[in-house]
Structure formats: structure tokens, C-alpha cells
Amino acid sequence: MYFIDALLPIPLQQAFTYHVSEEQAHLLEIGMRVAIPFGKTKIYTGIVIKVHKDPPPAYETKSIDQILDNAPLVNLFQLKHWQWIASYYMCTMGEVMRAALPNAFLLESETIIALVSKEPRDDTKFSDDEFLVYEALLHQSSLHINDIRSILDRKNVVLVIQKLLEQGIIEVQEEIYEKYTPKLKRYIKLSVEFTSEEKLKELIETLTRAPKQRQVLMTLFMLSVQDKKPVESLFLQQKSEVTASVIKTLIDKGILEAYFIQKDRIEYTGDAASEIKALSEDQEIAFNEIKDSFKTKDITLLHGVTSSGKTEVYVQLIKELISEGKQILYMLPEIALTTQLIGRLQKYFGESISVYHSKYSVNERVEVWKNVLENKQKAQIVIGARSSLFLPFNNLGLIIVDEEHETTFKQYNPAPRYHARDSAIVLAKLHGTKILMGSATPSLESFINSKEGKYGLVTLNKRYGNVLMPEIELVDIKEKHRKKQMKDHFSDRLLEEIQEALDNKEQVILFQNRRGYSPVVECSTCGVSPQCPNCDVSLTYHQYKNQLRCHYCGHHMAMLISCMACHSDTLDTKGFGTEQIEVELKELFPEYSIARMDQDTMRKKHAYAKIIEALEEQKIDILVGTQMLAKGLDFRNISLVGVLNADNLLNFPDFRAHERSFQLLQQVSGRAGRTKKRGKVLIQTFNPYHQILQQVSINDYKGMFEQQLEERHQYNYPPHFRTIKITFKDRNYAKMQKGALWYTQALKMNLTENVLGPEAPSVGRVRNLFITHVLIKIPKGQSLTKTKLFMNKVDRSFKLIKEFSSIRTIIDVDNY
């Protein structure tokens, strides 16, 4: 008997053993996919991790359904890396597998259910859950299990479905399908009987009465003389200046044949590669220092001020490595950034660049995966957001993590809750390659590591072309309010500067860290704000749609005319978001073009690209946005950056709030004056003497670093301690509270005073689930492995307590 162990994309700790025939055993290799039955009706895609002859002692094995690959789709580097992620971030291999593979590779049976009939039913007998499913199906013809999971907001929905099935309300279909459909391109060739030159000439003679058809054949003849490349149907049509019907006629006559070749979707159509820019003297020094540093250190941090030309330094490194045929992974924190970078790098490296991130379609991701797997030239340089880390690299030469301080590198939900920068460090180690991290405002973690000599450190202090760092002015809006020098949310200073920039035909970026029109609507008679029914937050007013929306669960309703509590029509808006700023600007500067960049306006795949292009082409005079526009974008003509209110950043209840405020403000400031003329930054605040703002205004990273480090030390926070956060969620508040307390006490048995909480977060209920947090702090000397083992023990015991079985626990290692 032969067996395989397979990983399944489900959150279970162990791999499963299946039996296979001898023939299959010989075909199978580690990393190949198999379709395997699971439970009664499920079919999953598994990854083979072992082929062997040892029957499992505990259960009767099933056989696999089918082998899905001819060659491994996942390599050994990846399996080891997944293993590390699962154990470090305390999740299962199955969860990592699901995050790592594009959906299209996870061929699985998706249960689809539909109503047996749309006839009205007596729905009074339904339980709440049954009613929700029934109601959803009245509006949509069919639903997947996963849809039902999100409708009911829990995992275990089978029983509900079972009940509805038994009552004959719904029916279930099982269906397997490959989600990936390669895009095919149509090509044209001559039928075999006409392929000889004489036959073709003869044929062309006979077509004198059909000049268009003749034209097509002449073109085809000419093209085939030039080279033997396949001729695309569309190309042939355009070259011969005929319509598609002419080609169709020739096919119908049996003279031409159409055939199809699979084409990759992401094609570079730009100009030929241009010369790489020569490095400035400072850049050259930094470049050499990086290479020196790599002789002794695997990890190097490039601390270079905004617009110092870090990208150009990366480009030089990449250039050296690709000539050796190595693969390069270039990670960015935000998809928005890839747009501009692709353009920049394609000029240098042409077709060798692939892009990989979650906004790419499943098909596009499958193609990049395969190209990386096969070490194709067109995927030699991969630019991507955090998931690009999971690609099947096998000849990795360098990893670049740009804007390494960005918190978006950490995946928040679902598991694996991994930090892409830290996971990249491990990936580089597995491959025995170097990793370069770059930032103008390094994270405290990375900076302390380089100060302590764990990482190499290379510094670029000057902007490229010796442009001065922008001049930063703090505007005290408390005083401005008092002196009545505010118009809407703008101080007279900010308005003056905007006007001046516009007069000079320069562009302006305005930063407001909140989307929507106005965060809170409040009744000025009774003080009540409309609340989300599912979450403990006030609804946000969006003027454009005249709606109130919840930013946590998406709940929305039409804006109220009068207060729900006292019925007076005295609803007032408090606070402000990007949308309101945009509206005010349009009134203040009616002649100028104003655009907005935030989550609401950027939902579509190409939305970023469009705004960035419009900004580059100077079709936008003023851009208003959230932190999205803070990161790494490089524009030529922005002379002024305004921050409308720095205080809500600083007052955010989180131990990283000050570090983050510094980074964010420095980064937004960094968008100003990147060429020749010195840029200007105006930061409006109620508290201009705040230390962080003072440090921002004089560009004092070191001062910020020392001070924050000291504060973290006092309160036992990273980088001195590691943290693990456990979140508890339940519909029932008392139960959640009791469970969390039990868990905390169990943890304290061993970890004593380093367990904090349970403590309710500022939003204590989301989507009707009550939430509380417990934080574990792990001092430097304490073994991480042992701590996690202990935690796992507690977690297992907790899950055995029946009373707590509905409570969801979420473990987040190195939480952000």
C-alpha cells in the first residue's frame, strides 16, 4: 500500500493521509496538487507533502480522487516557509496554504444552494438564521456556503442548511470547476494544401475577382516571408485593411484556418528599455555601502530621506542581479504604489517585470505564479504587495522591502496574520539571499536592529539634486479659531499658500486622515448621534450619497431629516472627512480641478492609476486624500502639502500612534518639492507644541526614535517586548466576558503580570459581536517557542469547555 500526506486549505492542524495506487505513488511528487474527498461530500484540493508506505494508525484512509498537476506547483522553499509562518503566527498550515495559493489553484467543491421554489412560504416557523438564509435566497438565485457564512457571520452553517433541506425549502448541488480559464488569442494560417509557394501563387491568381480576399493572402504571404512567427488574426485584418468578414469567408472556403494559442495577459507594450540613470555621488556611496554591508550582513536597512533616490539605488542593484539570471522580489506596502513603480521600472527592465497583488484577477495571478515557478524571464522582477511573498521563487537573488515601516505589511485578517516584512526576512534566509529594506522613516524595530548591528545600516541624508527638505510650518488652529481666521476647515495661512501655489501653476496635496463627509452627526438639542445598529460606533455622514454609513460593517441608511431621539430637526455635523474638504475646496477654488483619493473613490482596479496619471499630467490642481497618498509617490510639480488636522492622528489610542504620526507626517511632507524648488508643508493642529510635531517640523528622526524608544521601554512595549494579542468575540456579552476572564487567568498561571486585560477596545461591538482583548507581553529573554506552546495548551483547554464553545478567539502575534 502507498500513502500520501496532503495539506488541505482548511484550518486544521494536521495533514491528512490518503492511499494511492502504486502507479500514482510513482507519479506523485511533493508539491503537486491532488483532488481529495473530505467528510461526506466535500472535495478539496490538497498539496502532497509526503509519499510513503506507513498506514496511519488511527483511521481508515480514503483514496484520492485525482492528481491535478504534472509537476509540483509548490516548491520545498515554500513548504518550509509556510511552516515557519504557521508556527510563528500561531495558525495552521491550511490557513497559510489558502493565503498562499491563488484561488484558482484551490479547486474545490463549492456547495451551491438554491430555493426549491420561489412560492411564498410560511416563514414564521423559521429560526432567525433560517429566515436570513431564506430571505437572501429570495433575492439571489443561488448562494455558496461561504455566502451563507458571511450572511450568518459564523463558520458553522451546515446545520441551518440541513434544517432547510429537510423542510424541502432549499436544494443543494455539488459542483467542481476549474476557475482558471486561460485567455486565448486567435491566429490564422493557410490550410495545408496551400502552404507551398506555387500553390499559394496559383490561389492568389484565382482570386482576382475578390480583391479584398486577395489582399489578405498577399499580406499573409508577405508576413510569412519575413519570419515564421504565428500571425494573429487581428493583426492580419489590420495589415490587410479588411473587415473580419473577409477573413471569415476565406476560412469558410477552407483556404485559411484559425487556431488559438494561450496568451499571457500582462504584456508590456511600452518603448524599448531606456538607460538606467547614473547615480549621484551620494547614491553611489550608498550603493557601495549596501554591497559592502551585504558581505557581512544578510539584512540591510537603507535609511534615506524622502526623494533621496532610494528607488534608483534599488534599480542599480537589480540590474546587477538580473544579468546573473536571478529572480528579484520587490515588495511595496500598497497597491497604489505599484502603478507608478511599474512605469518607472519598465522603462529600465522592459519585459522582465511582473506584478502580483490581490487586486489582480485570479487569471493574472495564476500566470505570474507559473512564470515564477518556471523561472521565466518575464517574471524575473516581481513587484507586489504582501502576498507576492508566497510566489514559488526558486532562484531568488534579492528581496527589496520598500517603505518597510508601513503597517499595511501586516495582515490583519484573516489568518495567517503575518507581517510581510518579517516573513520576507525568513524567506530570504531560506533562499540564502540578501534583503534590503528601505524607508525615510524606519520602524523602531528595524532601526534598533541596525543600531545593534543585527542589520547593516546605510544612510542617505540628502534629496537627489540637493533639493532642500520641505519647509514645515505648524499652524495653531486653536488660535486661528479664536482670532476668527478660519474659513471652513482652512486657516488663512493654508488658504494663502494654496492660492500662491495655484498662481504659480503648481499642484497641492491636502491630507485628511478620515474619509466621508463628516464623521459624526449629532443632534444639537439632545446630543444624540445616530449609531450603527450592529456596531458600537456612530455612523459617518457621506454627503455625495446623502447617506449615513458604518465604516466597520458597511451598514448604511439614508441621512436622517430629524433626530431619532428627540425628533427635532437640529442634526449637526461634527468633525470632518475628505469628502467635506473636497466640497469646501470646490467652493473656495471654483476655477481649479479638485480630486479626491480615499477608500471610497479608489474601489476600482484602475482608479489609482487614473488619479496618478491625471496628477502627473497636471490635470489635477488639488488632490485631497487619506493616508493612501502619503506613501512613496513621486510627483514632479507638487509644491505644497497641507495637513488639515494632525491631532486625530496623535490622539489615536495605540502605543504606536506617535511613531506612526511621525512617519505619516514625514511621508506626506515628502511629497512636496521633489524637484528643484524647495517644497512647503503646512500642518494645522490644536497642539503645535506636541513633541512629535516639533520633531516632524525639524525632520528629527533620531530625536523621535530616542524618545519613543524610551517611552516603549517604560511601558514594556516593542521593540523591547514582543506582544501577542488575543481577541474574543461572541454575540453574548456576559459569556464573552466570562470566557475571556477564564482564559486570562489560565495564561496568568504561567505568564503572570505580563498578561493584560481583558480590555474592551474603543469599538466594543462590531457586526453584532462583542469584542474584548487580552494582551501578552513577552520580555526579550523569555522563550517565544515555550510561550507559544503554553498558549496553545491554554487555547486547547479553552476550546474543550462547552460553555465557551461559541466564543471565537483570534490570536495575533506581533499585533499592530
Nearer to ligand ADP, 130 or 282 (CB): 282
* Contact flag: residue 311 with ligand ADP (CB under 6 A): yes
Judge residue 382's burial from the number of C-beta atoms within 10 Å of its C-beta, 0-12 exposed, 13-18 middle, 19 or more buried: buried
Compute the Cα dihedral for 798, 802, 807, 810 and give only its sign: positive
Query: Which partner from the list ligand ADP, Zn ion, none does 526 bind, CB cut-off 5 to 8 Å by kind?
Result: Zn ion
Q: What is the DSSP letter of 390?
A: G
Query: Which partner from the list ligand ADP, Zn ion, none does 306 bind, CB cut-off 5 to 8 Å by kind?
Result: ligand ADP
Query: Which partner from the list Zn ion, ligand ADP, none does 553 bind, CB cut-off 5 to 8 Å by kind?
Result: Zn ion
Closest approach, Cβ 519 to Zn ion, in A, equals 14
Query: Which partner from the list ligand ADP, Zn ion, none does 464 bind, CB cut-off 5 to 8 Å by kind?
Result: ligand ADP
Q: What is the DSSP letter of 663?
A: H
Closest approach, Cβ 506 to Zn ion, in A, equals 41
Q: What are phi and psi of 238, to 5 degrees?
A: -70, -45
* Contact flag: residue 612 with ligand ADP (CB under 6 A): no
Q: Which stretch binds ligand ADP (CB under 6 A): 307-315, 546-554, 637-645, 756-764?
A: 307-315
Closest approach, Cβ 514 to Zn ion, in A, equals 16
Closest approach, Cβ 215 to ligand ADP, in A, equals 47
For the record, the C-alpha cell of 566 comes out as 428627540
Calpha distance 656→414 (Å, rounded)? 22
- Provide the residue count of the chain: 816
Q: Which stretch binds ligand ADP (CB under 6 A): 278-286, 371-379, 545-553, 804-812?
A: 278-286
Calpha distance 612→608 (Å, rounded)? 6
The CA–CA distances, whole Å, from 328 to 88, 159, 331, 763, 771 equal 25, 48, 10, 41, 41
Calpha distance 598→572 (Å, rounded)? 24
Closest approach, Cβ 666 to ligand ADP, in A, equals 11
Query: Which partner from the list Zn ion, ligand ADP, none does 747 bind, CB cut-off 5 to 8 Å by kind?
Result: none
Nearer to ligand ADP, 448 or 638 (CB): 638
Calpha distance 794→808 (Å, rounded)? 14
Q: Which stretch binds ligand ADP (CB under 6 A): 289-297, 304-312, 514-522, 593-601?
A: 304-312
Closest approach, Cβ 464 to ligand ADP, in A, equals 4
Which region, left, alpha or beta, applies to residue 161 given φ > 0 means left and ψ of -120 to 50 means alpha? alpha
For the record, the C-alpha cell of 641 comes out as 502639502
| DSSP class per residue in 793-805 | HHHHHHHH-GGGT
Give the binding site for Zn ion (CB under 5 A). Answer: 523, 525-526, 532, 534-535, 550, 552-553, 555, 563, 565-566
Query: Which partner from the list ligand ADP, Zn ion, none does 312 bind, CB cut-off 5 to 8 Å by kind?
Result: ligand ADP
Nearer to ligand ADP, 304 or 625 (CB): 304
Calpha distance 748→754 (Å, rounded)? 8
Judge residue 432's burial from the number of C-beta atoms within 10 Å of its C-beta, 0-12 exposed, 13-18 middle, 19 or more buried: exposed
Query: Which partner from the list Zn ion, ligand ADP, none does 309 bind, CB cut-off 5 to 8 Å by kind?
Result: ligand ADP
* Contact flag: residue 470 with ligand ADP (CB under 6 A): no
Closest approach, Cβ 615 to Zn ion, in A, equals 33
Calpha distance 216→474 (Å, rounded)? 69
Closest approach, Cβ 138 to ligand ADP, in A, equals 53
What residues form DSSP beta bridges with 515? none
9, 309, 519, 739: which one contacts ligand ADP (CB under 6 A)?
309
* Contact flag: residue 462 with ligand ADP (CB under 6 A): no
Closest approach, Cβ 310 to ligand ADP, in A, equals 3
Nearer to Zn ion, 462 or 765 (CB): 765
Calpha distance 489→491 (Å, rounded)? 7
Which region, left, alpha or beta, applies to residue 157 given φ > 0 means left and ψ of -120 to 50 means alpha? alpha
* Contact flag: residue 674 with ligand ADP (CB under 6 A): yes
Nearer to ligand ADP, 278 or 558 (CB): 278
* Cβ-Cβ contacts under 8 Å for 309 (sequence gap 6 or more): 279, 280, 283, 460, 463, 464
Q: Which stretch binds ligand ADP (CB under 6 A): 251-259, 274-282, 557-565, 573-581?
A: 274-282
Calpha distance 630→664 (Å, rounded)? 7
User: How far from the centroid of its chain's Cα atoms is residue 508's Cα?
Assistant: 27
Nearer to Zn ion, 566 or 749 (CB): 566
* Contact flag: residue 667 with ligand ADP (CB under 6 A): no
- The residues binding ligand ADP (CB under 6 A) are 277-280, 283, 304, 306-312, 464, 634, 674
